Chains A and B, each alone.
Chain A
Amino acid sequence: MSLSPVDLPNSYIGRAMPRPNLARLTQGRGEYVSDLSLPRMLHVVFLRSPYAHAEIVSIDSSEAAKMQGVARIVSGRELAEICSPWIGVLGHLKGLKSAPQHALAVDRACWQGEPVVAILARTRAEAEDAAERIYVDYRELAPVVDAFAAAALGAVPIHADLGDNIAFERKLDAGDVDAAAAASDHVIAQRFVFGRHTGVTLEARSIVADWNRAEQRLTVHVGSQAPHMMQNIIAKHLAIEEQQVRVLTHDVGGSFGIKVHVYAEDMAVAALAKLVGRPVKFFADRLESFVSDIHARDHVVDGRIGVTNEGRITFFEIDDITGIGPYSVYPRTSAVEANQVVNLVGGNYAVPNYRARTRVVFQNKTPMSQYRAVGHPIACSVTEGLVDLAARAIGMDVVELRRRNLYADDAYPCTAASGITFEGLSHHASLDKLLAMMDVPKLREDQAQARARGIHRGIGFASFIEITNPGPAFYGVGGARISSQDGASVKLDATGSVTVQSSITEQGQGSAAIIAQVTATAIGVPIERVRVILGDTDNTPYGGGTWASRGAGIGGEAAFQAGRALRCNLLTVAAAILQSTHEKLDIRQGVVVDAADGRERLELSELARIAYFRPDTLPRDMQTELMATRHYVPRDYAFAFTNGIQASYLEVDVETGFIRLLNHWVVEDCGQPINPLLVDEQVRGGVVQGLGAALFEQCRYDDQGQMINANMADYLVPMAGEMPDIHVGHVITPTAESAIGAKGAGEAGTAGAAACVANAVIGIAGVAGSALTPATPAITPLPYPINRATSALVSTTAFAFTGPNPRISNAASATGSKAASPLRGRFCTR
């Protein structure tokens, strides 16, 4: 193709335009699974374990079974007879182990909130009433809560058969870290503590399954990001054929990775529907969402960086530990986040010396797995925090130290110390653009003036890299039946309109919009004539779905190729009708035209009329093909890495520790943006999820493994009043792998937001005349404990507070156990 997609006539690629499916959502006409009601439908409520770890001695549901509206009560043992257990491991994560997990706990519950008994009733309220009359006799077992304790030698394993609580361990040693440390003028060590948080999709998880005994077929309506994966897994564990399972996703009320996993409740609902032969609906209430949706993060990372006085970063080193709950989540596992932390740390800097270890350990808490920007915020906060500390140690401006060490924009392709490969990034161009957007001198002036008035304001930066467009290296090579390729079928309807069926899914990113845009462009039709079908395994090609920022880059490319193929077919037919040749014709705005002068020759509606209703008027040997299907998977690179940089401007009230976000900037490079409006909003939404992690969100547990803030009043999420405006800019480095050149944009905002907030806070200490001169800049724990968090910053005895906030005591204990870490010392100046 000689023209790039954006150069084509009538291109919609690169154009900011509204999404076609929004009007009905603004009018309350969305069709979410939680809205769905089917004839004869039963509601299921799960009685959940109140203990983090307990043996199930007996279950007495005799009284509940007689209650009004109750249709059936099912225990774990009964359900296990029709739904086989699963083990969440991947072959390429060497040594990863887990235990068999059942849809309902059998004999033993391993986290507070694990489903134990299913109650099916005519209404949810009646099922809840009955749940209160079920008597489960538990024998409490000692819970394993703290990750370090779980990993310690001699710790009692949660699953005796596994031998210990180490689910996965990975070590990496590139270059020569010891020699690099010896050659450094400063070696700085810092512990980073990241709280456990969760996705809090506004629509909680919802599923309706309907087993039709006559057809021997299960129809599953589920708010999922990966319908074909769900189809495969439900079929496998119910021992039926994939063809007997149809999965539809409908509108999905937020996902962010939360809805890409297979949950015990999903499998239970599918199995229960088969058991009772009626539709069964589960719509999680918010309280159970907090203890059953996957959690994320929960890392403690001991990091080390070396730097010379001239500003050369000599090495990075990390020792990471993360607690994942009692099971590795199926089928994507719970080791991917830690694995990505190892892959990503230091990856934006041309530093060949890197040593890393991560340990993934079992504990009796809600299972942890992949949530938006998997591993990225951890890696970015550690990397960028260390870089800021290094800059402080040598007295160099934080921007200047980055300039001297970020990969040069002409360094590509190249391979980072961890082994990840980059096709083309733009760290320096992005930094330049960011600085231009921010007007740093003006900010510095404002900062100084504010300081003179006793107000402490800080500026923080965080450069990042982002994994997008994953190929089979992510899951397929590990043995998971999760498609890395996607497909699209494009059809010219009899009136000249176009229908596209794509295997990616929509959860609000704008998947339907971008599929319409690339298809309209590829064929040459007005976008109003394109209708998109997503999220139905009966009516879309086989594919992966929408996750890991792959929808546009992989699904979009498949639709583009399908559109080009259809265009080719249309031109063949048009050439026959017009007695012209393929090369002399083009399709623009739904009309076949002369390529040379744009003269209109044939409406596509007329072409369709002839092809469908009067094929007798076409040459005898011409069979028209007005539908084309193409699939696509990237092959040159395992991932399409993107990059960007963020900055935060904030104010700390040193009396209360309260942080006020004043401004936020992002420059990101997602390759060719298909719809810049949607990219900007992906970035902004991602930033706010990252800010939530930095300032508000934490799943707090007591020492018995009880989540103590499992509701929206106590688990804080960012609301409009606390969030700043967010300015987004772009640098465009298209991938050469695909025709459309798109990479992903979904993780970028979340990847760097917390890091630049933390750096802005510690940056305050560097402001001339600042009262804030802590011995230990408190980069973490994240989230900062509100109202007193940054007291850590102003205190010379970091974390030495009294008060009820357990975030403080967590941090204190983490600091206290530092002696056990192989990484020692902070600000060890040589």
Chain B
Amino acid sequence: MTEISVTVNGETITANVLPRTHLVDFLREELGLTGAHLGCEHGVCGACTVRLDGEIVRGCLVLAVQADGGNVETIEGMSDSGEIADLQQAFIDRNALQCGFCTPGMLIAAQDLLRHGGVPSREEIREHLSGNYCRCTGYHAIVDAVETTAEQREAAR
């Protein structure tokens, strides 16, 4: 066991973890943050996407010990803070999710694009989300929701 200290959604957590524990397993099993999902566990599907020190990472490719001293943000924290409330509402309005399993990762990846400002083209949105697999929607509605949010944020700027 290795002791780590991580800030998760603004709270400082000290925990003992096995060195082989992945960040996403630590979040889900130790902290009960089940919003990050396990889709493939080999870095392809994006369902476990979280933010580590401001950058999006795949929770299945990062070890919990690698997050020691870091700042982790999950869908739960980003929901509580209201950071992506508009994006979440756009997803709801546009039915940009069906089963919802990809949605937390998709939202975090989309927010990563939107944080850069401006209104990306549909191609740019598709490209940015190409690491996040959605089996239900066919992506069109997701692109619409992200585009709408970008336009709204740009208009409010």
**A26, B139: Cβ atoms under 8 Å?**
no
Q: Closest approach, in angstroms, between the C-beta of B61 and any C-beta of chain A?
A: 12
Known: A27-B88, A125-B20, A203-B39. A687 touches B138 (CB 8 A): yes
Q: Contact size class for A?
A: 35 or more
Identify B99's interface contact among A23, A125, A254, A687, CB under 8 A: A254
Q: Closest approach, in angstroms, between the C-beta of B13 and any C-beta of chain A?
A: 17
In the complex, A811 has a CB within 8 A of chain B? no
Whole-angstrom distance between the alpha carbons of A508 and B95 in the complex?
10
Interface flags for B22-63 (1: CB within 8 Å of A; 0: not) read: 000000110001111111111011010000000000000000
**A721, B99: Cβ atoms under 8 Å?**
no
Q: Closest approach, in angstroms, between the C-beta of A150 and any C-beta of chain B?
A: 31
Known: A27-B79, A677-B95. A725 touches B100 (CB 8 A): no
Which residues of the partner chain B approach A204 to less than 8 Å between Cβ atoms?
38-39
Whole-angstrom distance between the alpha carbons of A32 and B99 in the complex?
10
9 shortest A-B CB distances, which residue pairs? A28-B35, A25-B100, A508-B98, A508-B99, A253-B101, A28-B75, A688-B138, A684-B138, A721-B130
Q: Closest approach, in angstroms, between the C-beta of A678 and any C-beta of chain B?
A: 6
Interface flags for B117-152 (1: CB within 8 Å of A; 0: not) read: 000001101110111111111111111000000000
With A32-B101, A681-B98, A713-B44 given, name 10 new contacts (CB 8 A).
A25-B100, A27-B75, A201-B99, A253-B100, A681-B141, A712-B40, A719-B129, A719-B132, A720-B127, A720-B134
Which of A28, A685, A712 has its CB near the most chain B CB atoms (within 10 A)?
A: A28
Whole-angstrom distance between the alpha carbons of A200 and B133 in the complex?
10
Interface flags for A11-30 (1: CB within 8 Å of B; 0: not) read: 00000001100110111111
In the complex, A507 has a CB within 8 A of chain B? yes
**B102, A202: Cβ atoms under 8 Å?**
yes
- How many residue pairs link A and B with beta carbons under 8 A? The number is 176
Which of A202, A285, A507, A712 has its CB near the most chain B CB atoms (within 10 A)?
A: A202
Which residues of the partner chain A approach B35 to less than 8 Å between Cβ atoms?
27-30
**B135, A200: Cβ atoms under 8 Å?**
yes
Which residues of the partner chain A approach B40 to less than 8 Å between Cβ atoms?
286, 711-712
Which residues of the partner chain A approach B34 to less than 8 Å between Cβ atoms?
28, 30, 32, 35
**A251, B138: Cβ atoms under 8 Å?**
no
Known: A684-B141, A719-B133. A253 touches B99 (CB 8 A): yes
Known: A23-B92, A28-B36, A203-B37. A723 touches B140 (CB 8 A): yes
**A203, B91: Cβ atoms under 8 Å?**
no
Identify A721's interface contact among B42, B44, B126, CB under 8 A: B126
Q: Closest approach, in angstroms, between the C-beta of A444 and any C-beta of chain B?
A: 25
**A26, B107: Cβ atoms under 8 Å?**
yes
| B36, closest chain A residue (CB) | A28
In the complex, A509 has a CB within 8 A of chain B? yes
Which residues of the partner chain B approach A677 to less than 8 Å between Cβ atoms?
95
**B101, A30: Cβ atoms under 8 Å?**
yes
In the complex, B97 has a CB within 8 A of chain A? yes
Which residues of the partner chain A approach B18 to less than 8 Å between Cβ atoms?
125
Which residues of the partner chain A approach B3 to less than 8 Å between Cβ atoms?
none
**B136, A725: Cβ atoms under 8 Å?**
no
Known: A202-B135, A253-B99. A28 touches B39 (CB 8 A): no
Whole-angstrom distance between the alpha carbons of A711 and B45 in the complex?
11
Which residues of the partner chain A approach B154 to less than 8 Å between Cβ atoms?
none
Q: Closest approach, in angstroms, between the C-beta of B71 and any C-beta of chain A?
A: 18
Whole-angstrom distance between the alpha carbons of A9 and B144 in the complex?
32
Whole-angstrom distance between the alpha carbons of A253 and B47 in the complex?
11
Q: Closest approach, in angstroms, between the C-beta of A47 and any C-beta of chain B?
A: 18
**B95, A18: Cβ atoms under 8 Å?**
yes
**A723, B79: Cβ atoms under 8 Å?**
no
**B42, A712: Cβ atoms under 8 Å?**
yes
Which residues of the partner chain B approach A367 to less than 8 Å between Cβ atoms?
none
Whole-angstrom distance between the alpha carbons of A563 and B106 in the complex?
37
In the complex, A181 has a CB within 8 A of chain B? no
Q: Closest approach, in angstroms, between the C-beta of A68 and any C-beta of chain B?
A: 12
Identify B100's interface contact among A30, A285, A713, CB under 8 A: A30
12 A-B pairs with C-beta separation under 8 A = A35-B34, A252-B99, A677-B95, A681-B138, A684-B141, A685-B138, A711-B44, A712-B42, A712-B45, A713-B42, A720-B127, A721-B127
**B92, A26: Cβ atoms under 8 Å?**
yes
| A21, closest chain B residue (CB) | B100
Whole-angstrom distance between the alpha carbons of A337 and B20 in the complex?
43
Identify A254's interface contact among B91, B130, B132, B136, CB under 8 A: B136
**B136, A685: Cβ atoms under 8 Å?**
yes
Interface flags for B51-94 (1: CB within 8 Å of A; 0: not) read: 00000000000000000000000111001000000001001110
Q: Closest approach, in angstroms, between the C-beta of A187 and any C-beta of chain B?
A: 38
Interface flags for A596-608 (1: CB within 8 Å of B; 0: not) read: 0000000000000
Whole-angstrom distance between the alpha carbons of A677 and B88 in the complex?
17
